[in-house]
Structure 1
C-alpha cells in the first residue's frame, strides 16, 4: 500500500489540525498547568472534540462512532502532538475504545462504546507496575472469590486514571510474575471499595495516577477477554496505542522543525539570517529526512494494523522506536538552534521536549521496542 494518506484521510488530518490549533493551542496547556487543574483537561473542549467525531474514531457506527481505523486514529494523534493538547484521547478514544470493541462482551460494548464516542465516559488503562513498561512483570493478583475475583496490588502511570469512569486492569490470575501466560483483564469501577487513586502530575503537565487495589471485589462479568490469556489478547490494542503515540511524536517533531525553521529565517547574526549558515542547514536537512523516515515507518505500522493487527507487532516496534528517537533529536536540535531562549519557559520548545520524554516511555521506549524487535528475529 502507498505510504500516503488517501483523500478522506487527508481531509480528516486537515480538520483535526484546524480544530486543535484553533481550540487548543499550546497556550491552552499552559493555562491548565498554571492553575494546576485537577482534571488536567477541559471537559468542554473534550465534548466538542467528541462532537467532531474524533473521540469515536475507533467506535463502530452502530454505537455512534465513526467506524474508522488505525490510520485515522493516528492522523488525529499527530494533530494533538502539534499543540500538545491535553485530552483523554489516547486513554479513552484509542486504547479504551479499541479494547472494548475488540474484547468486550455485548453488555460491556453496549454500556461503554456509545458513551466513549459521545465524550461522556473516560476509560483508563492500568497496565504497568514499575518505572518501565513491562506488562509481563505484572504481579497484581486476581484470585477467584465466589462468582468473581479479588484484586490486590498496585499500578502506576495510569494515564487519566484520576478522572476515569472505569479502569481496565491487567492482573495475574495464575503463574508467576514474568510469565506472559496467566494474565487477565478486568473492567473496574474506580468507586469500588478498596480502590485508592493518587493523581500524579507528570513532567509534561499532563496527568496520570497511581492506583492501589486492596482486596477489591469484582464480579465475574468484569472480566474482559479470555481468562489467563489476557496479555496476548491485549496486544492489538497496545500496538494500536503504540502506533498512535508514534504519530503523536511525529506531530511534535514536525512542529518543532517548523518552528525552528522560522527562527532560522528570522534570527539575524552578522547582518544575515542564521539559516544561511551552512552548518545549520546541514543539521536542518538531516532532521527533515529523519522526520520523513519516521512518518513513513509510522504510517506503515498504522496501515498494517488496519490490514492484519495480529501481524503488525514488528512494524509497530520499528515505528515506536524510530519516532521516539527522532522526536528526541527534533526537540534537542530545536533547543540548540534557538540558543539560550530555547531553555526558557517563555518559549514553547521546552514543553515539547517534556512531552517527548513522557510519550517515549508510554507503552515502551525506543530501547524496549528495539529489544523486542531483536528478540523477534532471534537475537
Structure 2
C-alpha cells in the first residue's frame, strides 16, 4: 500500500501549517479564551475562503469531495494551533449526517451554506444515561398534525452555543432514531453553555415541547443510527489526527526546552535518562500517528471494520496522548503548568480528547465486542 501523500495533499498540509503558524499565536489564544463565542468568526470565514469548509462535501452540492485523509491533514495542523473553530461539529459530523441522511432538497439547501461559512451546525446526541452508547436515546419525537414535537435532554453539545441549527437525535414514537434540524432560539429549547477543557465551548440542551415542521426530519424517516455511528467513527479518526498534532508539538517543545535548560552546568538533554524519556515520547507519537492514519484509511470500509479501526485508534491514542502530555509537563518542571507556556493548554486539550465519544476503556470494550469477544478493562 502506497501511503505517500499526493501533490494536492502535500499542498493542503503546507497551506494548513502555514496558516496555523501565522494565525494561532499565543496572543490570539488569550483573546479567544475570553470570547463568549469561543472562536473567531473572521477566521471561520477564512476557512471558507481556503476551501476547508467545502473539503468533504460532495461536488454536486458545492464541495470538493475530499475524504478522511484530507480531513486528517487539516485536523493535525489544527491540533498544533489549538484551533477552537467548530470544524468537527459543523463539517466532519454535521455535513456528514446531512449528506448521508438528508433528502436532495435538504442537501441543496444546507450543504452550500456550510461550505460558504453561513451555517454553523452542532450535533446533539449524547445523553446522561447513555454512557457513550450511541443507541441509548431517550429523547422522543412525536408526530403531530403540523409536524413534530421533540422532548428530551442533551449533554455536552459541542459548539451548540454558536450553531445556527442543531442536529438533534430523537426516538420516533418509541422506535427508530431520527435526526431533526432544530433552529437556535426555537420555542421550548433551553441552552446552558460552558467553556470546554482545552478551549472552545459546549452546552447542555433541554427540549420541552419543541414544535417543528414536517420537513425538519432529515431524510425519509429511516433509522439514522447507522449514519450516526459512521459520522462518530469519522469524528474519532479526525480527533485522533488532532491529538497527534498536539502530541508532536509537545514533543518538539519539550525537546527544545531540555536543550536550553541547564542543571549543574549541563543541558537536561545531556542526561541519558532524559534522552530515554524523550525517545519514549517520540515512539508514542509515531504509534498514535499510525493508528490515526489507519482509522482514516478505514473510514469508508464496511461498518464493523470501520468501527473497530476507529475504536482501536481512540483507545490507543488516548493512552499515548496521556503519556506524552504527562512526560512533557514533568520534564518542564514547574514551568509546565504556568500560563507563560502553552504546555498546560495542550495538556488540557488532550485530556478533553480522551473523554470525547468515550475514553480508552470504553473503546477497548467496543473494539473487542465488535470482534465477537468480551473484555473487562
Query: Please, what TM-score do these two structures have when normalized by structure 2?
Result: 0.94
State the SS of the aligned residue for 1:121: coil
How does 1:1-379 map onto structure 2 within 5 Å?
1-33=1-33, 36-130=34-128, 132-175=131-174, 182-225=176-219, 227=221, 229-306=223-300, 308=302, 311-377=305-371, 378-379=373-374
- Distance of 2:324 and 2:277 partners within structure 1: 10
* Matches of 1:301 and 1:135, distance apart in 2: 19
Q: For the aligned residues, what is the CA RMSD?
A: 1.7
CA contact (8 A) 1:130 1:156 kept: yes
1:219 Cα deviation from its structure 2 partner: 2.2
**Deviation of 1:174 (Å):** 4.5
Distance change in 2, residues 1:308/1:2 (3 Å): farther
Tell me by how many angstroms 1:113 deviates. 0.7
Assess, with a 3 A threshold, how the Cα gap between structure 1 residues 83 and 67 changes in structure 2: closer, same or farther. Answer: same
Helix, strand or coil at the partner of 2:132: coil
- Alignment length, in residue pairs? 372
Shift, 1:185, TM fit: 1.3
The CA distance in 2 between the partners of 1:173 and 1:275, in whole Å, is 60
Q: Distance in 1 between matches of 2:110 and 2:28?
A: 28
Q: CA deviation at 1:152?
A: 0.6
Q: Is the 8 A contact 1:171 1:184 kept in 2?
A: yes
Q: Please state how far the C-alpha of 1:81 moved relative to its aligned partner.
A: 0.4
SS in 1 for 2:123: strand
Deviation at 1:226, TM superposition (A): 5.6
The answer to whether the 8 A contact 1:200-1:207 is kept is yes
Query: Does the Cα contact within 8 Å between 1:26 and 1:84 map onto a contact in 2?
Result: no
Q: C-alpha deviations, 1:145-194, integer Å up to 9, x for none?
A: 2252211111111111011011011112244xxxxx63221111122211
Q: CA deviation at 1:307?
A: 5.1
Q: Structure 1 stretch 361-370 or stretch 124-133: which is displaced more?
A: 124-133
CA contact (8 A) 1:265 1:273 kept: yes
Is the Cα contact below 8 Å between 2:304 and 2:370 reproduced in 1? no
Is the Cα contact below 8 Å between 2:80 and 2:246 reproduced in 1?
A: yes
Question: SS of the residue aligned with 1:135?
Answer: coil
Query: 1:335 touches 1:350 (CA, 8 Å); kept in 2?
Result: yes
Q: How much has 1:335 moved relative to structure 2?
A: 0.3
Ranges in structure 1 where 5+ consecutive residues have no aligned partner: 176-180
Q: Is the 8 A contact 1:133 1:361 kept in 2?
A: no
Q: Distance in 2 between matches of 1:182 and 1:15?
A: 43
